[in-house]
Amino acid sequence: MVGTEMYVKIQELKRKGYKKQRAARELMIDTKTVRKYWDMSESEYSEYLLETKERTKIMDPYRDFVLEQIEQHPEITSAIIYDHLLETFQEFAPSYRSVRLYVCNLRDAEGMPAPQKIRQYCEVAETPLGQQGQVDMGQKVMRDSYGKNVKVYIFAMVLSASRHKYAQFQLEPFTAQTFIEAHDAAFRYFGGRPKEIVYDQDRVMVVSENAGDIILTEAFEQYQSYAGFSVHLCRGFDPESKGKIEAVVKYVKNNFLTCRIFHGINRLNSEGLAWLDRTGNGQVHETTKMVPKVVFREEQKYLERVPELGGRTLLPKLAAVRKTNVVLYLQNRYQMPLGTYQPGRRVRIEAQEEAGTVRFYDHGSGELLQTHALAAGAGKLVRVTHPDRPRNQKLTELRMQVLREFGSTELSERFVAGILIHKPRYAKDQMSWLLKLQRQFKSAELDQAMAYCLERSLFGASDLQDTLEYFKTLSVEPEQLAPVVLPLKYRLVTARQRPLQAYENLWKGGDSR
């Protein structure tokens, strides 16, 4: 049900000759609502109001409960009240829509509106000339000359100091490649780039942002390194932090694209450039009270030059060296020489498909790090041989050292060989443990313990240590053993004593009490 004020507006638009759909758009209400009150006279509307007030609502039996919920928790939502009603009243049957409308009307009738959180804003100081730009994207549905809808995707960039704007349009959603090409076009339009660009967290450029650890998409990260600007990423769901470009996108939609017939994407981009020169950058800015293209003449002197991409020219392929000394390229991992990894180190990749090879150069010095054969498929690890350091060199050295300390006897060789067979994953740890035991015990004690372990097929440094400690306790006289002293908390505990009959009952399955 609409109020008297809305009913009067509907009737007023009807008298002006509006159609029902146009009246609904004008009043921002549903067409069904307009249709319901369109032919209703004032007397009929008055009778309808009286009938509505007298009519019992389906939610009236729960009025006190709902009112109590609102009084106790002023910020409570209709969804929470609906859930509490289902939880409290098993017979509750009204729909969520009924609850929502009832709660809304009850708040109005009782003067208990939901509290609103008001965010406080602070005016940001103007940035220096050439310091910052802002980028955002949008979309707009236009009509072509045949009356059909055409969705147009918008890329916009603005220089924060002068408010000089650039916009271009395309018929497909922006990908990483077209996003990069739009930057290249914008920098050509401006004659340079700012030092920093502010972005939203869009998937075409950002993989993730975790408390400041920003991971850009591979293509955009390459372009950023190539062009040389820094990235300032807005927090999620916080469009106000890039208000200048938000206003530009809104301006392009509502001033340039609205009421314009679409005659093709190339013509639209041409018309857009003319509009920028004539209106977008040619009129006095509402905030700065200056003409953007006039201020831009001064800001242009502070912009950095960017080499043009030249259409779809590929950027230098850059990649990071991972901690495991591998570089990811075309979904395969290529191993670099040991010691290549350094925090932040990047390599330039040059693939030679004719020769079937790929080369990796240090991005800073240009030094050739490694050449590999191109791997087919995906998920492959292309290894590099390190002749100066075999993988098992350290294990071999440890094994030889252990055997030397044992005297290289047949007994020790059998025991060490058994460890390598039964514990191959922990062979280095086992050898280090044996070296530690050799420093703690005498050779005769070690030989005795190894013989004991071999007889029982016990292959492990821990087994050897347990055996050594066992033989040590056998050699100590009983009176030399330190008495076992229980902690005080256990000495105070008295065990419950039961008659033997209780255990007999327990054995027979009876009650032990």
Q: What is the torsional sign of CA 231, 235, 241, 244?
A: positive
- Phi, psi angles (nearest 5°) of residue 389: -150, 85
* Core vs surface per residue 242-267: b (16+ CB within 10 A) or e: bebbbbbbebbbeebbeebebeebee
Spatial CA neighbour of 319 closest among 373, 353, 369, 383: 369
Structural domains in the chain, CATH included, are 4-110 (no CATH), 132-302 (3.30.420.10), 317-382 (no CATH), 393-480 (no CATH)
pLDDT of the chain, 513 residues: tens digit per residue: 677 888 889 999 988 899 999 998 888 888 888 898 898 888 888 887 777 665 667 888 898 999 999 999 988 999 999 999 999 998 888 899 989 988 988 888 788 888 877 665 556 668 899 999 999 999 999 999 999 999 999 999 999 999 999 999 999 998 878 888 899 999 999 999 999 998 876 665 654 444 444 456 667 777 887 888 888 877 555 555 577 888 999 999 999 998 899 999 999 999 999 999 999 999 998 888 899 999 999 999 999 888 766 544 455 677 889 888 999 888 889 999 888 888 888 888 888 878 889 999 988 788 888 999 988 888 889 988 654 444 555 788 888 888 988 887 888 899 999 999 988 888 888 898 999 999 888 888 899 999 999 998 889 999 999 999 888 888 765 555 556 566 655 566 667 777 777 777 777 765 545
Q: Pairing between strand 317-320 and 346-352?
A: antiparallel
Q: Which residues pair with 152 in a beta bridge?
A: 140
